[in-house]
Amino acid sequence: MAPDSTFETVSTSKAHGGTLGVYRHQSTATGTGMTFSVFLPPQVEAGAKLPVLFYLSGLTCTHANVTDKGEYRRACAERGIVFVAPDTSPRGEGVADDAEGAYDFGLGAGFYVNATEEPFATHYRMWDYVAHELPALIEDHFPIDPARMGITGHSMGGHGALTIGLTFPDTFKSLSAFAPIVAPGQVPWGHKALGGYLGQDRAAWRAHDATALVEDGKRPAGAILIDQGAADNFLAEQLRPDLFEAACKAAGVDLTLRLQEGYDHSYNFISTFMEDHIRWHAERL
C-alpha cells in the first residue's frame, strides 16, 4: 500500500518517555476523514520495529476516550508496545446518522461492520477500515512489525475486536476484550445495529457475532482474555458473556473470562485492568 498523501499530524506530546500523537487522514474505506491516536513507546528510538495493539472503543466514543482515560501509556512504554486507537464510526458532512439521534446507532456507533443498507452503506465501512486500511496505514507511517499485531476493545469495541480477531487470526495474533457485546444476534443492541446496517437476514449477521463465529468454526490465533465487571448494568441484557463462554467451551477455544466483582462498564473498570491486557498481548506478540 502506498503511503497516504492525506496523512497529517494533528498533535503530539511526550508521555512516559514516548510520544502520544493524534493523526488524521482521508479514508478510502469510509470515504471520510478519520482521526486516530498512536502511542509510540521509547523503544522506537532504538530503531526496532515494535509490536502493535489496536484498541476499539465503544458506543458514543471517539479515539479520545481511551487516549485520555485508558491509562495504557506506562504499561506500553515498559513493554515496547505501540498502541493505536481509531474512531468508532465515520463522521463529517453527508454521513448518515440515526433519524432520532439515538446513541446506539449511527454516528459513534458503527459496530465495526460494512453496512449494506442505505443510507449507511456509503460510509459505514468500519470493518474494512479496521481490519485492512488502518493496519496498512500504521505500517506505512510508524515503526511497527506487521507480523506482531494484536487487537482489543471495550463493549461495542470488544465486539469488533472479537469478530475481527476471530476472522483474521493470521493478522491479529493476540486477542482480548473488556465487557464485549459477544452475541449481538441475541441482544437488543445487536438487533438494532445489525438489522439497521446489514438488513433483516439474520444469516448475514453471523459474520459479525463472536458467539456465532465460534459456533461456525472460526478460531483465534491463540487464547482469548475477557474481563467483565460484575456490577455492569448492561451485563444481563446486552453483553451476555455466558453465551460466548458456552460456545468456546463446546468448541475447545481457550477462553479466560474473569468476572470482576464491583466493577461497572466505565473507564474506571477499563483502566484498572488495562495493564493486565497490555501484559497479555506483550507475552503473545
Catalytic residue among 155, 159, 174, 277: 155
- 265 has catalytic annotation: yes
Amino acid found at 155: S
Are β-strands 172-178 and 224-229 bridged in parallel, bridged antiparallel, or unpaired?
parallel
- 123 has catalytic annotation: no
Amino acid found at 87: D
Are β-strands 82-86 and 172-178 bridged in parallel, bridged antiparallel, or unpaired?
unpaired
Are β-strands 82-86 and 18-26 bridged in parallel, bridged antiparallel, or unpaired?
unpaired
88 neighbors 78 (Cβ within 8 angstroms): no
Catalytic residue among 25, 63, 208, 265: 265
Residue 245, C-alpha cell as written in the block: 463462554
- 254 has catalytic annotation: no
- Sign of CA pseudo-dihedral 12, 14, 17, 22: negative
19 neighbors 39 (Cβ within 8 angstroms): yes
Catalytic residue among 27, 159, 232, 281: 232
Q: State the catalytic residues.
A: 155, 232, 265
